């Protein structure tokens, strides 16, 4: 009767505290520069070392500039955070992938592509979008700084076990509809708090037919529904993606691992605390019109009436009015990237729309690979030439304009169509106005200068 989540979680429980949390063993800790400094300082103050250093990987991503990475970082705050992570990693004997290292990139892109993220693992990082790794059939979730210190010191964490939810999306997706649209659609239906307190397993034909990159996008956005994490049972798509990756098992170990991974699925009679079902045929290319990711509508729809004071505030901030069409709204910036949509498949999708067209006048476009490996793939496949011919430039890897922690900030009052995960007030820069969308919809906006249905350009 066990769910996939139960199987992985329960097999990692070291101890259950009476009337309290469970002590959970952690297979992999990812560390970036934002949430780790105080954790390392805590170890230092207590005279402790890292308990399992071989299970910890460090890399900067939030504060890294996406240009001139071979030069010192200009912003003193960003430079200090990145330098501090490097010093901490070396002092505590941890694997560190710094800027310009071929293994560097956004930590949630690098983990899966290096085979550091594997089915059946428990994975944590001081970052909410750690849920991304659940796409590989892992229990992955974000933790706070004090919890990062706990894992550094003991390779364990104290956690209350979340409830379980299954979201099933059956049928098939229409032309021009992507995993990003599925996630935005689900949020529009259940809200940004609809999965609070739950760990979500995604199932159904639509989910099974997603590529690995699509699954990573869907699980990444679980957090925006309020979930503790999201996951998908590993299958042939997972195994084919992982085979031959640097840290994946090899030879006989690979065969043993796959045999175990095949057992990682919810039983037919598994009981979830909550079940939701949706039909893939109902999903269209989506875009947000407000200031949280749940305020999404089909790109062809009109802006709905404001029901609450929060809705009214959101429309005021965005400069939108109820009843207006989203199609044709002017766009100043387009951002392709982030741990949501910075993978090779996302660049292929973007290039498929802009090929033979040209970037619209007045649009600033930031195309940011999620890792140096993605950058290499872009060039190997000749996508850089297609993009350059259309007037686009590829920047260097990093979190970039997903959040205003580096140079890539959207100016106040400007409109951005972004493939990232959050559209909160000021998320992409003070006063910036963000519309979340898929790489296809972002590309359509980039070549037309306005919000456009990507299906018209496919």
Q: What is the pLDDT of residue 14?
A: 98
For 395, other C-beta atoms within 10 Å of its C-beta total 20
Task: Return the pLDDT at 176.
Answer: 98
Contact 104, 67 (CB under 8 A): no
User: According to the model, what pLDDT value does residue 246 have?
Assistant: 97
Mean pLDDT of 7-13: 98
Residue 359 is predicted with a pLDDT of 98
pLDDT, average across residues 42-61 = 98
| Opening angle at CA 375, ends 374 and 378, nearest 5 | 85
> Does residue 322 share a domain with residue 255?
no
Summarize the confidence of residues 157-164 as an average pLDDT. Answer: 97
How far apart CA 49 and CA 365 sit, in angstroms, is 44
Whether residue 137 sits in one domain with residue 200: yes
* The pLDDT value given to residue 68: 97
Token representation of residue 219? 């699980």
Q: List beta partners, residue 164.
A: 199
**89-122 pLDDT per residue, tens:** 999 999 999 999 999 999 999 999 999 999 999 9
CATH classification at residue 133? 3.30.499.10
Domain boundary among 242, 259, 284: 284
388-420: per-residue pLDDT in tens? 999 999 999 999 999 999 999 999 999 999 999
pLDDT at 248 over 90: yes
Tell me, what's the pLDDT at 441?
98
Residues 275 and 317 in one domain: no
Same domain as 313, residue 275: no
Contact yes or no for 364/450 (Cβ under 8 A):
no
Nearest to 129 by CA among 25, 35, 13: 35
- Residue 430: how many other CB atoms lie within 10 Å: 12
Q: Are residues 235 and 291 in the same domain?
A: no
Q: Flag whether pLDDT at 1 surpasses 80.
A: no
Which percentage of the chain shows pLDDT scores above 70?
100
* pLDDT-above-90 percentage for the chain: 99
* CA distances, 28 to each of 117, 265, 437 (Å): 8, 21, 31
pLDDT tens-digit readout, 331-352: 999 999 999 999 999 999 999 9
- Residues 225 and 268: their CA atoms lie apart, in Å, by 26
Structure tokens given for 69: 């990475």
Average pLDDT over residues 249-277: 98
- Same domain? For 312 and 392 the reply is yes
**263, 284, 305: which is the final residue of a domain?**
284
Residues 184 and 319 in one domain: no
Whether residue 237 is found in the same domain as residue 295 = no
CA distance linking residue 372 with residue 63, whole number of Å: 16
Q: What value does the mean pLDDT of the chain take?
A: 97
- What are phi and psi for residue 40, nearest 5 degrees? -65, -40
> What confidence score (pLDDT) does residue 323 get?
98
Domain end residue (candidates: 250, 269, 284) = 284
Please state whether the predicted TM-score (pTM) of the whole model is above 0.85.
yes
Judged against a pLDDT cut of 90, whether residue 69 lies above it is answered with yes
pLDDT band at 225 (very low <50, low <70, confident <90, very high): very high
Q: Are residues 308 and 260 in the same domain?
A: no
Contact yes or no for 128/25 (Cβ under 8 A): no
Q: Do both 326 and 433 map to the same domain?
A: yes
Count of structural domains, the chain: 2
Which structural domain range is residue 313 located in? Answer: 286-456
Which residues, listed in sequence order, are joined to residue 131 by a DSSP beta bridge?
none
Judgement on whether residues 379 and 337 belong to the same structural domain of the protein: yes
Helix (H, G, I), strand (E, B) or coil at 197: coil
pLDDT value at position 408? 96
Rounded Cα distance, 171 and 139, in Å: 26
Q: 309 with 408, same domain?
A: yes
Res. 322: pLDDT tops 90: yes
Query: What stretches of 123-204 show up as alpha helix (H) in DSSP?
Result: 145-154, 179-190
């Amino acid at each position: 009767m066990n769910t996939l989540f139960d199987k992985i979680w329960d097999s990692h429980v070291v101890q259950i505290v009476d009337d309290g949390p469970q002590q959970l063993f952690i297979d992999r800790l990812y560390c970036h520069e934002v949430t780790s400094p105080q954790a390392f300082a805590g170890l230092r103050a207590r005279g402790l070392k890292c308990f399992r250093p071989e299970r910890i990987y460090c890399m900067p991503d939030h504060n890294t500039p996406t240009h001139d990475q071979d030069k010192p970082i200009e912003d003193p705050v960003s430079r200090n955070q990145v330098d501090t992570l490097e010093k901490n990693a070396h002092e505590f004997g941890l694997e560190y992938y710094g800027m310009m290292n071929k293994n560097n990139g956004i930590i949630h892109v690098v983990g899966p592509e290096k085979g550091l993220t594997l089915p059946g693992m428990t994975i944590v990082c001081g970052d909410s979008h750690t849920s991304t790794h659940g796409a590989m059939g892992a229990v992955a979730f974000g933790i706070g700084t004090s919890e990062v210190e706990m894992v550094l010191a003991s390779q364990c964490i104290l956690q209350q076990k979340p409830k379980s939810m299954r979201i099933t999306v059956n049928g098939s997706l229409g032309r021009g509809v992507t995993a990003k649209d599925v996630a935005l659609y689900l949020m529009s239906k259940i809200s940004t708090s609809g999965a609070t307190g739950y760990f979500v397993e995604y199932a159904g034909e639509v989910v099974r037919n997603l590529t690995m990159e699509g699954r990573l996008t869907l699980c990444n956005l679980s957090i925006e529904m309020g979930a503790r994490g999201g996951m998908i049972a590993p299958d042939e798509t997972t195994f084919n993606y992982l085979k031959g990756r640097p840290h994946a098992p090899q030879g006989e170990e690979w065969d043993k691992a796959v045999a175990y991974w095949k057992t990682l699925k919810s039983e037919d009679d598994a009981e979830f605390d909550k079940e939701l079902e949706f039909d893939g045929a109902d999903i269209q290319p989506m875009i947000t019109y407000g200031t949280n990711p749940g305020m999404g509508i089909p790109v062809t729809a009109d802006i709905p009436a404001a029901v609450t004071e929060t809705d009214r505030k959101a429309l005021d901030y965005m400069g939108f009015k109820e009843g207006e069409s989203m199609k044709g709204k002017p766009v100043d910036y387009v951002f392709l990237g982030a741990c949501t949509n910075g993978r090779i498949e996302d660049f292929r999708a973007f290039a498929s729309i802009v090929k033979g067209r040209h970037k619209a006048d007045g649009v600033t476009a930031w195309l940011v690979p999620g890792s140096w490996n993605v950058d290499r793939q872009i060039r190997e496949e000749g996508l850089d030439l297609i993009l350059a011919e259309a007037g686009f430039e590829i920047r260097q890897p990093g979190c970039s304009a997903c959040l205003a922690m580096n140079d890539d900030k959207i100016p106040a009052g400007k409109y951005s169509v972004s493939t990232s995960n959050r559209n909160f007030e000021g998320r992409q820069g003070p006063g910036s106005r963000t519309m979340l969308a898929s790489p296809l919809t972002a590309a359509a906006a980039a070549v037309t200068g306005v919000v456009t249905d990507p299906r018209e350009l496919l």
